[in-house]
Amino acid sequence: MPELPEVEVVRRGLERWTTDRTIASAEVLHPRSVRRHAPGPADFAGRLAGRTVRAPQRRGKYLWLPLSTPDGAAGGVDGADGANEAVLAHLGMSGQLLVGEPDREREKHLRVRIAFADGGRDLRFVDQRTFGHLMVTDLVPDVVGGEKGPGLVPEPIVHIAADPLEHAFDAEAFFRALRRRRTGIKRALLDQSLISGVGNIYADEALWRARLHWARPTDTMTRAEAARVLEGAQEVMEAALAVGGTSFDSLYVDVNGDSGYFERSLDAYGRRDEPCRRCGAPIRRDEFMNRSSYSCPVCQPRPRRAR
């Protein structure tokens, strides 16, 4: 499941169910799901066996499980238990990480299964469209978050910006980056190297809250406008998180397979022709970046100069 709140719901579930458990074996049922693990599926499975999973971390839409140092290996960069490798996961459009009794039926789109040495609940990566992926990768010092960041991040995501719910997020740096870009605000919000975790739903929701049109050029935005967008994003994602995220169908679920119910609280996304909750005007739908954008034609007037 896609955006930050849904991924954080999954992270919390993993924190409860897999932390400090030792992997017995991993089984890759579809090679495409580990396509970004360059050494291949056998190497992926081989690296997991015998490793202990530490507390899951997240940045934007990525989450990762740090791994204990393999038996017989030298300690990692931060000492005794290493944690210099991790399983990195991105759920893509339809990925799920599910925890449950090992003898339950296999899901139709089960791609990777991880069994634990204690014989308890297993961890399954289920992904209908296979846009998501898992890989084992090195952890490297975080250049984005600095002192306030998570310390170590998976190497493949060093280019991913901090997300607006982490302490390391620098609002002033975000504002300066916006002013340097010659693009529209929604494009900027969806650019994970500028701000991470925001996808199509929460971009529309943040802009509705900020009363800004998606094509508003960023190079003339004021500090106050940027702050409104940022606060909009933070507030809407916190609110979604509090009720388990947004799910339109059973594709977006937590590790136990339960859906969140933020859908009913959406103000813009998916509300074409329904009345704006602020002014009553019918919400419009535009095509933008080969996808849909929803906004209020009155509260969010199109700028004269649009991007």
Partner DNA sequence: ACGTCGACCTGTGGGC
Partner DNA sequence: TGCCCACAGGTCGACG
Binding mask 141-170 for DNA (x = CB under 7 A): ------------------------------
Residue 258 sits at the vertex; the CA angle it makes with 253 and 259, to the nearest 5 degrees, is 60
Which residue in 77, 120, 158, 248 binds DNA (CB under 7 A)? 248
Which residue in 46, 50, 70, 92 binds DNA (CB under 7 A)? 92
CA-closest candidate to residue 283, choices 296, 300, 270, 267: 296
Which residue in 3, 205, 225, 254 binds DNA (CB under 7 A)? 3
- 59 as an active site residue: the answer is no
CB-based contact 182:75 (threshold 8 Å) = no
**Least distance to DNA, CB of residue 18, Å:** 22
**Least distance to DNA, CB of residue 246, Å:** 4
**Least distance to DNA, CB of residue 207, Å:** 14
244 contributes a contact to DNA by CB under 7 A: no
How distant is the alpha carbon of residue 299 from its chain centre? 29
C-alpha distance from residue 254 to each of 1, 151, 172, 247 (Å):
9, 26, 33, 10
**Least distance to DNA, CB of residue 34, Å:** 13
- How far is 222 from 239, CA to CA, in rounded Å? 26
3-state secondary structure of 57: strand
289 contributes a contact to DNA by CB under 7 A: yes
Specify the long-range contacts of residues 14-17, CB closer than 8 Å, at least 24 apart.
Answer: 14/56, 14/63, 14/65, 14/97, 14/99, 14/123, 14/255, 15/55, 15/56, 17/99, 17/121, 17/123, 17/255
Q: Toward DNA, which CB reaches closer, 147 or 249?
A: 249
- How far is 304 from 3, CA to CA, in rounded Å? 30
2 contributes a contact to DNA by CB under 7 A: yes
32 contributes a contact to DNA by CB under 7 A: yes
247 contributes a contact to DNA by CB under 7 A: yes
- 61 as an active site residue: the answer is yes
Active-site residue, selected from the candidate residues 176, 223, 291, 305: 291
Consecutive H or E run containing 125: strand 122-127
Which residue in 56, 60, 150, 244 binds DNA (CB under 7 A)? 60
- 70 as an active site residue: the answer is no
- 186 as an active site residue: the answer is no
3-state secondary structure of 195: coil
Number of residues that bind DNA (CB under 7 A): 40
283 contributes a contact to DNA by CB under 7 A: no
Helices (H), the chain: 4-18, 41-48, 171-180, 185-190, 200-210, 223-242
**Least distance to DNA, CB of residue 6, Å:** 6
Just list the catalytic residues: 2-3, 61, 291
Binding stretches for DNA (CB under 7 A): 1-3, 6, 32, 60-61, 90, 92-93, 108-109, 128-131, 180-184, 187, 190, 192, 199-201, 245-249, 251-252, 263, 289-292, 307
